[in-house]
Amino acid sequence: MDTGASSFDALFEEANDLASQRSFRLAAAKYREAIQLEPRRPVAHFNLGCALERTGETETAAMSFHAAMQRYPEDSSPWAESAAASFNCLTQDYAPTPRATPSWFMSDEALKRLSSRVVAATSDDPLTKRGRLQAITMRAAVLASDATGFKPPWPTGPRTAAELREAAALFQEAAAGAGGDGDLQKDLE
């Protein structure tokens, strides 16, 4: 019997229980213990990111989501959800420090390519509602750039009309998925 795996499973389950009780700091500590035992398991990194995000530690959460992304198979739905969650943390109201910033985050063209892959990886998979919303919101924010008044923390270039139309359609999908009716024009009136 592999005691490392069983210890990991016990710690992981305990961390999940703590998170379900909204004890996110304690859950984060248990996820970290589990990661020490089995650092290649992406789900522990992802759940650690979720717990850290809930405590307001968005920079460290972004790093955990990025660690999960690196461990999941590329273009899988968990990979995409990890990428979108990392992006979401990195676009919070602070400037990310260099240690928390993946190389793809500082390149407009890399973000366009990555966000396209993230949306494609989530489109045919029954992902969680939150994961799909993060994926399409990521793509919409990347494509809209600063056209919406959002000042992206990465260097941006000009956008085509097609990119802005795609961003608008994705923002509508996000609004509908978040409980709106998807009619942004009506919501703005």
Q: For residue range 36-95, what is the model confidence (pLDDT) as tens digits?
A: 999 999 999 999 999 999 999 988 999 999 999 999 999 998 999 999 999 988 887 665
- Domain ranges (residues) in the chain: 1-71, 104-178
Domain spanning 1-71, CATH architecture: Alpha Horseshoe (1.25)
Q: What is the pTM (predicted TM-score) of this model?
A: 0.84
**Phi-psi label, residue 127: left if phi above 0, alpha if psi -120 to 50, beta otherwise:** beta
The helix (run of H) or strand (run of E) holding residue 50 is helix 42-54
Q: For residue range 166-176, what is the model confidence (pLDDT) as tens digits?
A: 999 999 988 88
